[in-house]
Amino acid sequence: MTTPLPVSLTPSDLDASVRIQSAAFQDDPLWVYLLPDPQRRAAALRRCFTPVFATSIRAGQVYGAGTPLEGVAIWSVPGSTTPLSAALPSIPGFLKIALSPFVIRFRLAFPIFAKFDEFKQRYVHGPHYYLNTISVAPEAQGKGLASKLIRPFLAEADQRRLPAYTETMTPSNVGLYTHYGFKVMEEYRFPGTDLTLWSFLRA
């Protein structure tokens, strides 16, 4: 029996999605590096994630778990009407929205996101499932929401005999993804920083 996918979110879920994503990423290593000040970081996260989630919801690629909403994920799947890579504004574009007036910090993100693209092109080819991002509200951790946002897509990928790909810069996520059958393809330490990027493929 096929496991049903989580509920697909609508524009009415935008504010809640952005709130959950921003809270979950408040202490994310990348964002701490780009914006060391916590208050500025909180505001920048909301500015960044609002256009990302608005565009992704329109593309039908944002899924949620919990009632009320407590976890969200953006999945790009083969056969989507609008692939996320085509629907999203450019990385420089939405980072400029998010990080201005923090232009100096904004420039630090370019080589990082370039490495994201490099790894993805290196390790996955053809139709695949891509977990762009997943977040669970801090107060809802431990409820199994991540599993509800990951397992159904992996089951569907297995049924279609397709790979799944994702990446992370959060050390605690490494164990999470390997638990779901992803294999670490590459671990890259950005020179002059404490940042590490892990690339994962589930064949």
- Whether 202 and 181 have beta carbons less than 8 Å apart is answered as yes
- DSSP state at residue 196: E
Report, as an integer, the average pLDDT of 14-31: 96
CA distance 113 to 124: 17
Task: Provide the mean pLDDT of the chain.
Answer: 87
Beta bridge partners of 133: 74
% of the chain at pLDDT higher than 70: 85
Select from 34, 61, 63 the least CA-distant residue to 48. Answer: 34
Report, as an integer, the average pLDDT of 35-43: 89
The class (CATH top level) of 7-202 is: alpha beta
CA distance 187 to 177: 14
Structure tokens, 23: 């809270």
Report, as an integer, the average pLDDT of 54-75: 94
In the chain, where the domains are located: 7-202
- Give me the pLDDT at residue 88, please: 46
Torsion region of 115: left, alpha or beta (phi above 0 gives left; psi -120 to 50 gives alpha): alpha
Whether pLDDT at 51 is above 60: yes
Phi/psi for 135 (5° steps) reads -150, 145
Report, as an integer, the average pLDDT of 181-188: 98
Q: Where are the beta strands (DSSP E) in 120-171?
A: 129-136, 164-168
Whether pLDDT at 106 is above 70: no
Select from 165, 182, 10 the least CA-distant residue to 75. Answer: 165
More confident residue, 99 or 59: 59
- Give me the pLDDT at residue 79, please: 75
Query: What SS3 class is residue 45?
Result: helix
